[in-house]
Amino acid sequence: MTDNNDGFKRPNANYKLSRQNPDPLEEEKLNFYYNRQHRLDKAPASVRNLYEKPRHKFNLLRPLIADKPRATVFFTIIILCVIIFIMALLGFMDDSYSLEGNKLEIRATSFEDTTIIVLRKTISGKDPYTGAVDIGVSPVVSNPDEEYPIFIHRVFFTLREEEETRFVVPYNSPQLAIVFNTEKTSLKTTIKPQ
């Protein structure tokens, strides 16, 4: 065993080191070079393909329709969005009703044992109806033996662009049936108070 400067002996002193006396000048003579082609020749085929194929510009649509399942999902979403947009334009997703050239929006709010109904009328046609409108309100019941009196209220539509009417009905029911009667037509609907 050989001694260290501190007087301790190395446990592996009998092993031969690869470089016994490295010369500092010899280390400076090492040549490092970079040859890209030499490295690519040794690289796997997948790495070589990355360097050989031309790079594509960024494309947002290509990953969304890269294969058949992705394309199917993408086009299904697009078709559904178009259908919802068309239905909204045509008024199928609107909570309003049409009554002889007038657009009616109906809301109801429960308060203690009564329900407050808010009726908002806007003119939507060329020749809207003006005059008396009779409104009948009754709770919707699941048991046919139960009977409630029909609450009747009358409002008058004018030629103003927007009108809002509020009235209270003496029912606290989860669902109300409402009938609007004019001189010529009637409209039946149900609403759920909030």
The predicted-structure confidence for 87-137, as pLDDT tens digits, reads as follows: 888 767 667 888 888 888 888 888 888 888 899 998 887 888 888 999 999
- Give yes or no for a contact between 148 and 139, defined as CB atoms under 8 angstroms apart: yes
Distance, in Å, from the CA atom of 184 to the CA atom of 83, rounded to the nearest integer, reads 34
pLDDT band at 46 (very low <50, low <70, confident <90, very high): confident
Distance, in Å, from the CA atom of 61 to the CA atom of 27, rounded to the nearest integer, reads 55
- Give yes or no for a contact between 156 and 132, defined as CB atoms under 8 angstroms apart: yes
pLDDT at residue 3 is higher than 70: no
pLDDT score at 174: 84
Six-digit token string for 35: 């040859």
pLDDT score at 142: 76
User: Taking the complete model, does pTM exceed 0.85, yes or no?
Assistant: no
pLDDT score at 183: 87
Q: What percent of the chain has pLDDT over 70?
A: 84
φ, ψ for residue 159, nearest 5 deg: -90, 10
pLDDT score at 101: 85
- Give yes or no for a contact between 101 and 126, defined as CB atoms under 8 angstroms apart: yes
Q: What is the pLDDT of residues 53-83, one digit of tens each?
A: 777 778 888 888 889 999 999 999 999 999 9
Domains of the chain: 39-90 (no CATH), 96-191 (2.60.40.150)
47 Cβ contact partners less than 8 Å away, ≥ 6 residues apart = 40
Six-digit token string for 45: 């085929």
pLDDT score at 69: 93
